[in-house]
């Protein structure tokens, strides 16, 4: 009996010790891992590669945008390198600072073509950058991040072999896209232009349409475009809707190519009668039409069914708008 009592006391004593130990663990203040914060220029100097490179690491770009950079020597940073430096791949692969992705920069295309682990990504060449030693860093980081978000390539469903040459309507549509980007708007193919691209891998000039989100549309944009001529290569032919609630802007290029800028809305409550909603197109992907980058919905067949019905494959009337 005495031995049993001693054992009970020993167990109670051990329980108290364990309780005290775990209480210390739970109440002990957590000491965060110390982070080595440095100036963003110092970080870029540390990351300077032996050959020219473009910084494409999303996390580091976001740090630079916030002007709040820190050094993580154990983590490799994503950089883009022109394929003309492909011979340097072996030496770059040994540098633990970098994760290298190669891109092509063709004079016949208005975009950079990246190969990201076997997947094709396209971004417009429409960005400026500053150079610190060999590292090129884009100046407008939010715009570049938007380009990267929409970079995933999607191909058309038709035959591309007989559509190799670029025509004037394609160049005009691309020029309008460039003007819209310069004004802070990302446009995408819609309606019969989306249908033409997906069916034929080209665009039909009978009825060209580019859509922009109402959230990106500058105040009184249609009126300014009409009266101030902010796009020097285009003239406004018509405005649908009110000045405050423009829904469609018809423009003509210097080569008389007619294009409609269609305004799409975030939700039905703010659409005021329009039937085009931004959510139907988002997220964007990138595609190539005769060497020109255009953004399209990443789910073209779903959107074409919504606009033209289940028999959209049989529709070859490119002179109409979708729903």
- Asked if residues 231 and 179 have their Cβ atoms less than 8 Å apart, the reply is yes
Helix ranges restricted to H, 28-57: 40-46
pLDDT at 206: 76
Burial 126-153 (b: 16+ CB within 10 A, else e): bbeeeebeebbbbeebebbeebbebbbb
Q: Is 253 helix (H, G, I), strand (E, B) or coil?
A: strand
- Asked if residues 161 and 74 have their Cβ atoms less than 8 Å apart, the reply is no
- Asked if residues 300 and 199 have their Cβ atoms less than 8 Å apart, the reply is no
- Asked if residues 170 and 189 have their Cβ atoms less than 8 Å apart, the reply is no
pLDDT at 27: 47
pLDDT at 135: 95
Q: Is 198 helix (H, G, I), strand (E, B) or coil?
A: helix
Cα 132 from Cα 156, distance rounded (Å): 39
Cα 266 from Cα 6, distance rounded (Å): 75
Nearest CA-CA partner of 58 in 35, 43, 38, 79: 79
Residues 6 or more apart in contact with residue 172 via CB below 8 angstroms? 208, 253, 255, 257, 259
Residues 6 or more apart in contact with residue 203 via CB below 8 angstroms? 169, 170, 173, 189, 193, 196, 197, 289
Regions of the chain short of the pLDDT cut 50: 16, 21-22, 24-33, 271, 273-275
Return contacts of 165-170, CB within 8 angstroms, 24+ apart.
165/290, 166/290, 166/291, 166/292, 167/205, 167/290, 168/255, 168/257, 169/203, 169/205, 169/208, 169/257, 170/202, 170/203, 170/289, 170/290, 170/292
Rg of the chain in Å (alpha carbons): 28
pLDDT at 78: 96
- Alpha carbon separation from 291 to 4, 48, 50, 113 (Å, rounded): 88, 32, 31, 11
Domain chopping of the chain, boundaries: 37-149, 168-314
pLDDT at 32: 45
pLDDT at 320: 58
Model confidence, pTM: 0.82
Which numeric CATH code is attached to 168-314? 3.30.460
- How many other C-beta atoms can be found within 10 angstroms of the C-beta atom of residue 177? 25
């Amino acid at each position: 009996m005495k031995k049993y009592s001693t054992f009970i006391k020993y167990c109670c004593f051990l329980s108290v010790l364990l309780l005290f130990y775990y209480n210390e663990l739970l109440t002990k203040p957590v000491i965060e891992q110390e982070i080595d914060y440095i100036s963003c220029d110092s970080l870029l100097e540390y990351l300077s590669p032996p050959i020219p490179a473009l910084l494409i690491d999303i996390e580091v770009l976001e740090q630079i945008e916030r002007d709040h950079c820190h050094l993580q020597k154990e983590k490799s940073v994503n950089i883009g390198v022109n394929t003309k430096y492909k011979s340097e791949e072996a030496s770059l692969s040994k540098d633990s600072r970098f994760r290298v992705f190669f891109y092509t920069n063709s004079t016949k295309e208005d975009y950079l073509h990246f190969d990201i682990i076997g997947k094709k990504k396209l971004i417009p060449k429409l960005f400026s950058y500053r150079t610190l030693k060999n590292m090129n860093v884009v100046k407008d980081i939010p715009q570049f991040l938007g380009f990267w978000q929409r970079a995933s390539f999607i191909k058309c469903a038709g035959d591309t072999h007989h559509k190799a040459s670029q025509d004037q309507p394609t160049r005009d549509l691309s020029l309008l896209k460039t003007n819209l980007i310069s004004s802070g708007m990302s446009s995408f193919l819609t309606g019969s232009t989306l249908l033409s691209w997906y069916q034929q891998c080209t665009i039909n000039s009978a009825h060209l349409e580019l859509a922009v989100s109402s959230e990106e549309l500058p105040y009184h944009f249609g009126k300014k475009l009409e009266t101030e001529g902010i796009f020097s290569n285009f003239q406004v032919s018509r405005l649908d809707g009110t000045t405050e609630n423009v829904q469609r802007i018809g423009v003509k290029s210097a080569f008389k190519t007619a294009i409609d800028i269609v305004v799409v809305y975030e939700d039905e409550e703010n659409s005021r009668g329009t039937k085009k909603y931004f959510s139907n197109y988002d997220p964007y992907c990138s595609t190539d039409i005769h060497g020109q980058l255009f953004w399209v919905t990443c789910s073209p067949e779903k959107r074409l069914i919504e606009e033209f019905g289940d028999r959209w494959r049989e529709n070859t009337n490119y002179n109409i708008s979708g729903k």
